[in-house]
Amino acid sequence: MNDYDTAARWIAESRKAAAFTGAGISVESGIPTFRGPEGLWSRYDPQVLDLGYFYEHPRESWEVIREIFYDYMGAKARPNAAHKLLAELERRGKLQGVITQNIDNLHQEAGSRYVVEFHGTAQTLLCTECGDRTPFTEHDLDTLPPLCKKCGGLLKPDFIFFGEGIPPQAYQASMALAETADLLLVIGTTGEVMPASMIPYEARQARVIEINVQPSAYTEHRTDLFLQAKATEAAKELAERLGVELQ
């Protein structure tokens, strides 16, 4: 039985909470996870996100990238109750910010203002030649691979591929948030991908409330209070106890 009363009390008592989210928080917005039975990596070869493969086969890689990351973009994916709860806790000065592994921009669309995108974002395309960044909506993704309008260089999504480093400012901002947090909400992540997966361990002063439909790499070793539930279910239970209206 999930102890939502204690979880809500910990949130109410917290003065410097932070959140660390993964693909699971966006499942009920219609975005598939990477791992697990329905996961993307059971349908697509993760090599499309291997930097070497991308440079050697830009069109083939972009065809899959478009299908995975851009076909659901735009109208379809919308923030859900879990994204909205985090945005409301920030508005109340309870949550300092969200560190997300996701690239779907749903925290920002839910109203979160301080969002650290540990793996970058699918919202902008980056020119691999001149470094120019432009919104993906400015490019016609029916013609692949998209090329830079400034220099003609190959464009790639502005999220990190396997083998790429974490954006330094995202890394520093995440550590700063984690190190000072007194409560960390870990939502919808397997905790299997380094270095993102270290964040709950960097939050040395924080009590950890984890929300996941099943145990993760954290549940036994780092989690202080495990809520086994879908992110939106747990969000609604917590919102009710905290007097938060999730519009």
Residues that bind ligand APR (CB under 6 A): 22-24, 27-28, 33-36, 39, 101, 119, 188-190, 192-193, 211-214, 216, 230-231
Report CA Rg, the chain: 18
Could you tell me the smallest distance in angstroms from the CB atom of residue 194 to ligand APR?
10
Cβ-contact 86, 112 below 8 angstroms: yes
Could you tell me the smallest distance in angstroms from the CB atom of residue 22 to ligand APR?
3
- 119 catalytically annotated: yes
Could you tell me the smallest distance in angstroms from the CB atom of residue 70 to ligand APR?
16
**C-beta closer to ligand APR: residue 86 or 148:** 86
CA distance 62 to 240: 43
- Reference 52, options 210, 204, 161; nearest CA is 161
**58-80 b/e (C-beta count within 10 Å ≥ 16 → b):** beebbebbbebbbebbeeebebb
Annotated catalytic residue within 83, 119, 139, 221: 119
Of all residues in the shown chain, the one whose CB is closest to ligand APR is 24
**C-beta closer to ligand APR: residue 22 or 148:** 22
Cβ-contact 203, 14 below 8 angstroms: no
**C-beta closer to ligand APR: residue 61 or 148:** 61
What are the residue numbers of the active site? 119
